[in-house]
Structure 1
Amino acid sequence: MRLAQTIQGRIEDGTYPPGTRVPSENQLVQAFGMSRPTVVRALELLKRDGWLESRQGFGTIVRGRPEVVEQQDRRGRAALTRDESQTPGRLIEVGHVPVPARVASALGLPKQAKVLVRRFLVEEDGEAVELVSSYFPAGLVDGTELETSEALSGSVREHLEARKKVRFDHVTERVSARLPDSGEAELLELPEGVPVLSVLVIACDTSGQALQVVDVLLPADRQELEDTYRLN
């Protein structure tokens, strides 16, 4: 999220040096004009990733840049572990549709095949931030609750692993940019001409068979992709 990236940048440039306290939640709310829940979430993300830590009696302390920044917040992981019932936003579509070309290729399906789609609009502070479309081959849907129009409790991954006895093993992510169609632009509240980033998440079992494909659409003007990794 943007606020977490901003605070992380201030840690990296020395504005918030290691060992010092970060500004209080009230100070951050006033400084950045964000709501308190947004500030709390940003601090929690930075604590989880090792940039900050809570110390009894001292508050939130800057740890500095982690030796290796593990991208625990990768889109694929988030898409597969998201609990719809606990995610701010709304389920806007559930149904069988002709498989989109990119998804057909990932699932190994013919172009005219039908797949189940669950489309969820993720919101933050009342603003649409992600349009998440999850596609499932028809044979994987029987005996599950994926066709329900109610938000699922728990992640889809947990649901499928429990009901279908499959095992998710690895994920491939493909990132591309394009212009949204009119429906996508309306849902994401995008002005004309603003592109989206499409993160196609292909979740496979140990044999490489795709179990689920998720297309995560993000407003490109609000995104900054960064990864840190060790060179062997």
Structure 2
Amino acid sequence: MAYEVEAPKYVRLAQTLQRRIEDGTYPPGSRVPSENQLVQSFGMSRPTVVRALELLKRDGWLESRQGYGTIVRGRPAVSEQRDRRGREALERDESSDSGRLVEVGQVPVPARIASALGLPKRAKALVRRFLVEADGEAVELVSSYFPAGLVEGSELGSPDALSGSPREHLEARKKIRFDHVTERVSARLPAGDEAELLDLPEGVPVLSVLVIACDASGQALQVSDVLLPADRQELEDTYRLN
């Protein structure tokens, strides 16, 4: 059994501040409220506030300026040249990519998926689950969740593979635009059906890449949980130090 837990408080606070940056409450160049003000406004401890601010600084949303405090930089520019699991999940063509659609239907949304979609606990959403295969071996399991409002008037609920990606389908049918993606990586033990689909021995964990795709306002349009067998993965990143 896989246990879903709510995101830590500092992550939820960082998400709230991020949404306020995107909706213009905290425009680029402005100062965010002080640590004391955030503690009082959100009823969270100072360490939680500090950790949330550090997370946003690390990801490029905020920066510290001596004598000015913490300044809003705005939404970070996306590097188009780096490979991203999120981009792969959003742009996968179900009808031509190597693999198969293993599930389509309304399901209770796991807690962290509901949080990312802005849905209440125990809400239901449409899931499209695609098993990616290479040389006859299961290499990746992608479960993509969509809020009910986007499903209406689309073919997302069809049990057949879509021609093109769900993103292309939604942008064409619903006249919406995907703007940016946030990815979160964690590790966990797979649920029984996940382990069976990925052909994992008992006790082997998976890496979960949670892909949150939003419009320009920060509203989540699609959340995909990309599961990778941990014993077959090695993550590496090279970057320049300032």
TM over 0.5: yes
User: Using the alignment, how far apart are the partners of 2:138 and 2:167 within structure 1?
Assistant: 24
**In structure 2, what residue type is equivalent to 1:139?**
G
- Please report the TM-score for the alignment, with normalisation by the length of structure 2: 0.66
- Deviating beyond 4 angstroms after TM superposition, the runs of 4 or more aligned structure 1 residues are none
User: Using the alignment, how far apart are the partners of 2:192 and 2:124 within structure 1?
Assistant: 23
The answer (yes or no) to whether the contact 2:141–2:228 under 8 Å persists in 1 is: yes
Match of 2:232 among 219, 222, 228: 222
Pairs within 5 Å for 1:37-186: 72-186=82-196
Structure 1 residue ranges without an equivalent (≥5): 1-68
CA RMSD of aligned residues (A): 1.3
Structure 2 residue aligned with 1:35: none
SS across alignment from 2:95: helix
The answer (yes or no) to whether the contact 2:104–2:157 under 8 Å persists in 1 is: yes
Structure-2 change in CA distance of 1:71 and 1:183 (3 Å): farther
**In structure 2, what residue type is equivalent to 1:182?**
G
The number of residue pairs the alignment matches comes to 164
Structure 2 residue ranges without an equivalent (≥5): 1-78
The answer (yes or no) to whether the contact 2:111–2:122 under 8 Å persists in 1 is: no
**In structure 2, what residue type is equivalent to 1:153?**
S
The answer (yes or no) to whether the contact 2:100–2:130 under 8 Å persists in 1 is: yes
Structure-2 change in CA distance of 1:144 and 1:70 (3 Å): closer
Structure 2 residue aligned with 1:192: 202
Q: How high is the sequence identity, in percent, across the aligned residues?
A: 84
Deviation for aligned residue 1:87: 1.0
Range that drifts further, 128-137 or 69-78: 69-78
User: Using the alignment, how far apart are the partners of 2:201 and 2:149 within structure 1?
Assistant: 39
- Please report the TM-score for the alignment, with normalisation by the length of structure 1: 0.68
**In structure 1, what residue type is equivalent to 2:192?**
S
Structure-2 change in CA distance of 1:71 and 1:185 (3 Å): farther
User: Using the alignment, how far apart are the partners of 1:160 and 1:228 within structure 2?
Assistant: 34
SS across alignment from 2:156: coil
